[in-house]
Amino acid sequence: MDHGQLDKMAEIAASPRDYAVAFKARTGRKVIASYPMHLPAEIVHAAGALPVVLQESTEEISVGHGLIYPFYCGFSRSTIDQAARGELDFADGVVFGDTCVQILGSADVVRVTHPEKPVYFFQLLACMRDSWTAENVEETIGKLRRGVERMLDTTITDQALWDSIELFNENRRMIRRIYEIRRRNPEVIDATRLQDVVKSSMVMDKAEHNALLSGVLEQLAEKSGGPGFRTRVFVSGHMCHAPKPEILDMIEEVGAVIVDDDLYTGLRYVSTDIPENDADPIRAIAASYVTRNANIPDPTKIDPDVDWDGYLLNAVEASRAEGLIILMPKYCEPHMYYYPEIKEAFEREDIPHLLIETDHEQLPIESMRTRLETFVEMLRQRELA
Amino acid sequence: MLAELAPPPTTSNRLKTTAMNNRMVTAYWDDLFAAKDNGKLVCWYEGVAINPLLQAMDISWCHGEAWSALLAAKKEEQPALLASEERGYGRELCSYARTHLGTGILRERGQIPGSPDHEHIAGRAPAPDLIISAYPYCSTGQQWDEMLFRLFGKRVPVFNITLPYIWGNGSSHAYMQGEEFEDAVKFLTRQLRECVTFIEGVTGRKFDWDRLSEIMSYTKKAGELRLEAMRMCKARPAPATFFEWSISIAPVNFLSAGPEIVEYFEKLNAEIAGRVASGTGSVPREKYRLFWDGIMNWGKLGWMAEKFSGYDACMVAGRYTHMGFWQEPQVIDVDDPLEGMARNYLTCPINHSAPYMIDRITELCEFYEIDGLVMHGARTCRAFSNPQFLIAQEVSKRLGVKIAMIEGDMIDPSFYKDELVNSRVEAMLEAIDARRGLI
Amino acid sequence: MTLYAMGVDFGSMTAKAVIVDAERDVVAAEVVDKGVLIEEGAEIAMAQALASAGLRQDDIAATISTGYGRRKLDVAQRTITEITCHARGAHHLFPEARMVIDIGGQDSKVIVVDEAGHVQQFAMNDRCAAGTGQFMQVLARALDVELDEVGPLSLEGDDAIVISAMCTTFAETEVISLRAQGHSKPDILAAVMESITKRTMGLIARVGKRSPIAMTGGVARNIGVVRALERRLGEPLLIAQTPQIAGALGAALFALDDARRGIRLPPLEPSFRGEADRLVEPGGKGGCSRISTPV
């Protein structure tokens, strides 16, 4: 398989800043950085700017620890550190809408360290079932549009919005197609490569990314998979930033193969399209925000009718995974809250799961390898029994 | 952490009126423990003080933070913490939530600790008949209610109120002013009205607006008196400390509002005025005036008071006590209180972004003539610790105050390191001396 | 000619080698005090085991290595994690055990096993090494006692002091601080044993307590830890004469299974050996086929 497109995606995923800087130089357009998870980047795109989702960097955190305590998730510490080191210079503004308290704290720090940069917050309601939810979410998205217009000193037409929505929907559809192929035949693409596909989509101009995706899909369609001896596992967690590639590689090295995931830099990012049959693009975007949680539950959202544990049980079954590997970033409170529900659900259904705590700092590689190997040994044993 | 050391000897000159507070608090908890026997409905809530709405309808309440603080103060938090650890809640999760969830687990799974003759206090909180979520700023707080709801099998009626975070998008933003703030007030007030409807649904009775007005008139008066009393601590030596103000949060947070809470603050004012007149300080030798930033370490309250008194340092004020808990009573219209309540909820000390908080803390430090800031970095409370580095840097830049950063936690003692506290506080006091040219 | 199989366990503080015969009887068991980064330890252990059994390496039908240095052994046909091996070994020693507590040189593990000795669930200490062999060494040094005195001395103390968390890195300073306050060595040790027990109970809580419980690993020889745990658990622990060999024993039993099944894999490739903690290169799939054989 010609890895040209995937290599390009990997390169960009490894250094989003380089891409953004080159983009600005090339096009003369602006770049708006955003915090995860739910901010509709279509609005930024429709305004003519490049939306870039902030990523955890591989740099060790140094000056950032003078602005925030160490007992914060790696993503928040890394973005603060990047800001402190001037790495967010490519961004003409920062936008965020999610309400995880650590993201709020991070953005507050970023704004103080960059008083010259507009840092906008549009509070996306966490509670999905209140009688005012739909109305409030629509209002918020409307404010977001006006805020972005002001930030970029431009006007966003409905038509421009629809064009962006169509483009982003196409991007999501193609990535979901890759996921479908992988579910059936996990040997056709490595987990880290698939991560690069999504990570690069979070950074690149969507039209450019769509072109690369077409090439990838063409080649995947031709590829036949391996013999399928490896133990199938589902990977869950990391709702704001990518797990370190070394972890995913290790999972696949000890004899397992990742058949599906609900990672942010994975299926979460592409699970939900914006309906194109509404008259009002703002209403359509608002609707997709609510639907997205039902498609892949996010523990910071309050919805009594949506259960992340139930979703995982179904997803594990649908992907014919034999076990669940949970990657939980240390200090991720939303995940820590929900974990016992998942643990109990999986114990009840007698599906093995393994909890691995991740962090920004260097992994204790051997310790992680031992746990993963033991997990695979356990799953193999069950298979034989 | 290290072994439990013997507590420092008592040196501080504690207020006498606080004994009345302790009696009221004990009576409140006894009342709550007997709620089911008295046929009352029980509401579990955390975050902002929505209890006036409950009191108006004769519903008993268990405020999650107050409950957890009670357990920590009595050194009885372990059974609840263990229960939640066993279920799988990580230790780095908000210890308030872990304690409250642990209590729920003990109750829901029939594992009330203690012997047959002595029911451990951790198991005494009655199970909720309703849950109201109204958490400012902190998503962890909102999720806390959601997970309680799930723990109780989704059987308990729950109502969710979203408190908009005052970020300050536009240049028109100022404290309690501007479009963003007014929109937030309108949105929150509307939700409070919906909450009233919810309460009517659960109780099957029409809401008693007159009763709410009565309650809020006591609360408003108590709030005003408390602020007045706190302001008198501008005096040198300061007649009371932040630690006592922490204890005195109860009457403006979770106690029932009535003539008693007003009487309490009247007595407190009188005692403080008396001390100001006679020049009596809370700390026998007040050499340093300090400000406590961050949440309180409930298991170490008395300990901390003695420690600082021993250092000849008076903790005069703090963000937690002075910027929250009915801190803007003047905006409450007792005849139609919902909007005034909303304004208070929105301005609690974690619901504003850093720039506002820094301004407000600077004002307080100037008013109380503060020499140093003690930043209590509560390990599991990121809501409070989020802006602490920013506050420390900016306030010390503006005023020249010295900083000590200490680690701890509101509930979980395993995050507290006494040796480190001592060395950092001592270093700060030395820096203050140096600034005064005394070294 | 009878069948023999060998298991080699590379620990962080000791290397262990066990040889079993076709009846699953242990014919040799050696514990050697050398760390994992020095291959000599394992080689000495194997050599001593072979010598004491009167065998040569050629007599061994199959060898499996386990422990942190497991990938470094070139005579092993394959590797299995120490968790799976300790479960198997403990089950062999105590077939009725449904939970295994293994506290070794730098790891604490709690393993739930079924009636066949298979791992059902497990929990490991995350980063903290408190309670492990290395911790005990630091503790002994700080208190100026012999390592094997630590346990018995702790039994003489009362647990009046409460230590809520102790860190291996800071253990020495903390102990000095406690001594400076006038606390006796037995009292300090008693308190440390209590705090280790709490940590272990935390691990047990993660998987849910089962009974009966076996204890393996070097720290099972520390009577102080054992008594403190038994008190907390409310039941006696099943402990073998030489509890450190459980991992190597389990590995030997797995090797015997391989030999029985006539599985003959070539020895580990040189590229597979390397520093125990080298980073995996993205895209590298070196060891995949090694583990594809069913356990």
pLDDT of C170:
66
The strand order across the sheet containing A50-53 reads: A50-53, A31-34, A93-96, A119-121
The pLDDT tens digits for A311-361 are 999 999 999 999 999 999 999 999 999 999 999 999 999 999 999 999 998
Partner chains of C (3+ C-beta pairs under 8 Å): A, B
Is the Cβ–Cβ distance between A354 and A324 less than 8 Å? yes
- How much is the average pLDDT of C130-136? 81
**Residue C256 covered by a domain:** yes
Check which CATH number belongs to the domain holding A73 and give it: 3.40.50.11890
Higher pLDDT, residue A313 or C292: A313
The domain total for chain B is 1
* Pairing assessment for the beta strands C213-216 and C238-239 based on DSSP bridges: parallel
Is the Cβ–Cβ distance between B33 and B96 less than 8 Å? no
**A92 and A240 fall within a common domain:** no
**For residue C161, which phi and psi values (nearest 5 degrees)?**
-80, 140
Do the chains contact at A366 and C288, CB–CB below 8 Å?
Answer: no
Check which CATH number belongs to the domain holding A276 and give it: 3.40.50.11900
**Residue A210 covered by a domain:** no
pLDDT of B7:
57
Cα distances (angstroms) measured from residue C238 to each of C30, C108, C229: 21, 17, 12
Please name which of C73, C130, C123, C77 lies closest in space to residue C99, comparing C-alpha atoms: C123
- How much is the average pLDDT of C278-283? 27
**Residue A288 covered by a domain:** yes
Q: Distance from CA of residue B60 to its chain's centroid?
A: 19
C158, C159, C164: best mutation site toward chain B, by most B Cβ within 10 Å? C164
Question: What percent of chain C is modeled with pLDDT above 90?
Answer: 51
Q: Which residue's entry shows tokens 């001390």?
A: B275
**Chain C positions touching chain A (beta carbons under 8 Å):** 68, 80-84, 107, 118-122, 124, 126-127, 276-288, 291-292, 294-295
The domain total for chain C is 2
**Residue C16 covered by a domain:** yes
The pLDDT tens digits for B236-249 are 999 999 999 999 99
pLDDT of B261:
97
Range of the domain at C191: 95-239
The domain total for chain A is 2
pLDDT of C166:
64
**C102 and C235 fall within a common domain:** yes
**Residue C146 covered by a domain:** yes
Q: Number of Cβ pairs closer than 8 Å across A and C?
A: 77
Cα distances (angstroms) measured from residue A384 to each of A357, C91, C118, C294: 29, 19, 12, 8
CA dist., res. A30 & res. A175, Å (int) = 26
Do the chains contact at C161 and B4, CB–CB below 8 Å?
Answer: yes
**C18 and C113 fall within a common domain:** no
pLDDT of A364:
80
| C-alpha distance from B432 to closest chain C C-alpha (Å) | 28
**Residue A227 covered by a domain:** yes
- How much is the average pLDDT of A294-298? 96
pLDDT of C212:
97
Strand partners, A354: A325
CA dist., res. A83 & res. A99, Å (int) = 20
pLDDT of A3:
75
Q: Closest-CA residue in chain C for A339?
A: C206
Question: What percent of chain A is modeled with pLDDT above 90?
Answer: 89
Contact status of B90 with chain A (Cβ, < 8 Å): yes
Question: What percent of chain B is modeled with pLDDT above 70?
Answer: 95
A104, A131, A145: best mutation site toward chain B, by most B Cβ within 10 Å? A104
Range of the domain at B195: 18-435
pLDDT of C35:
54
Return the DSSP state at B10: P
| Residue B142: band (very low, low, confident or very high) from pLDDT cuts 50, 70, 90 | very high
The pLDDT tens digits for B275-298 are 999 999 999 999 999 999 999 999
Please name which of A342, A340, A307 lies closest in space to residue A323, comparing C-alpha atoms: A342
| Residue A163: band (very low, low, confident or very high) from pLDDT cuts 50, 70, 90 | very high
CA dist., res. B415 & res. B81, Å (int) = 13
Spatial CB neighbours of C43, under 8 Å, sequence gap ≥ 6 = none
**Residue C292 covered by a domain:** no
**Residue C278 covered by a domain:** no
| C-alpha distance from B198 to closest chain A C-alpha (Å) | 12
* Pairing assessment for the beta strands C26-32 and C15-21 based on DSSP bridges: antiparallel
pLDDT of C12:
80
- How much is the average pLDDT of C265-287? 33
**C99 and C234 fall within a common domain:** yes
- How much is the average pLDDT of C27-46? 81
Range of the domain at A128: 23-160
The pLDDT tens digits for C103-129 are 988 889 999 999 999 999 999 887 677
**Residue A187 covered by a domain:** no
- How much is the average pLDDT of A284-312? 96
Q: How many contiguous H segments (helices) and E segments (strands) does chain A have?
A: 15, 8
Ranking A231-245, A305-319, B68-82 by mean pLDDT, the lowest is: B68-82
**Residue A185 covered by a domain:** no
**A135 and A255 fall within a common domain:** no
Cα distances (angstroms) measured from residue A223 to each of A212, A217, B139: 17, 10, 45
Please name which of B42, B39, B36 lies closest in space to residue B59, comparing C-alpha atoms: B42
Please name which of A90, A10, A11 lies closest in space to residue A50, comparing C-alpha atoms: A90
pLDDT of C135:
85
Domain final position from A160, A176, A199: A160
**Residue C283 covered by a domain:** no
**C113 and C229 fall within a common domain:** yes
CA dist., res. A208 & res. A255, Å (int) = 35
Return the DSSP state at B48: S
From chain C, pick out residues whose CB is under 8 angstroms from the CB of A367.
107, 124
Q: Closest-CA residue in chain B for C172?
A: B2
Partner chains of B (3+ C-beta pairs under 8 Å): A, C
Check which CATH number belongs to the domain holding C141 and give it: 3.30.420.40
The pLDDT tens digits for A60-112 are 899 998 999 999 999 999 999 999 999 999 999 999 999 999 999 999 999 99
**A105 and A252 fall within a common domain:** no
Average pLDDT value for chain B: 92
pLDDT of C276:
28
pLDDT of A351:
97
pLDDT of B329:
97
SS3 assignment, position A188: helix
Residues 317-356 of B with CB under 8 A from A: 353-355
The pLDDT tens digits for C182-211 are 899 999 999 888 888 888 888 898 888 999
**C114 and C197 fall within a common domain:** yes
Ranking B16-25, B78-87, C262-271 by mean pLDDT, the lowest is: C262-271
Do the chains contact at B165 and A336, CB–CB below 8 Å?
Answer: no
The pLDDT tens digits for B250-268 are 999 999 999 999 999 999 9
| Residue C86: band (very low, low, confident or very high) from pLDDT cuts 50, 70, 90 | very high
**Residue C108 covered by a domain:** yes
pLDDT of B336:
97
pLDDT of C192:
86
Do the chains contact at B353 and A131, CB–CB below 8 Å?
Answer: no
CA B415, B418, B422, B425 dihedral sign is positive
pLDDT of C265:
54
**Residue A13 covered by a domain:** no
**C117 and C56 fall within a common domain:** no
Do the chains contact at C124 and A245, CB–CB below 8 Å?
Answer: no
Do the chains contact at B389 and A66, CB–CB below 8 Å?
Answer: yes
| C-alpha distance from C174 to closest chain B C-alpha (Å) | 7
**Residue C141 covered by a domain:** yes
**Residue A293 covered by a domain:** yes
CA dist., res. B132 & res. B129, Å (int) = 10
* pLDDT of B15 strictly over 70: yes
pLDDT of C292:
27
pLDDT of C264:
56
**Residue A136 covered by a domain:** yes
Is the Cβ–Cβ distance between A255 and C288 less than 8 Å? yes
* pLDDT of C249 strictly over 50: yes
How much is the pTM?
0.91
CA C21, C24, C28, C33 dihedral sign is positive
- How much is the average pLDDT of C24-32? 94
Token pair for C89 = 């070994």
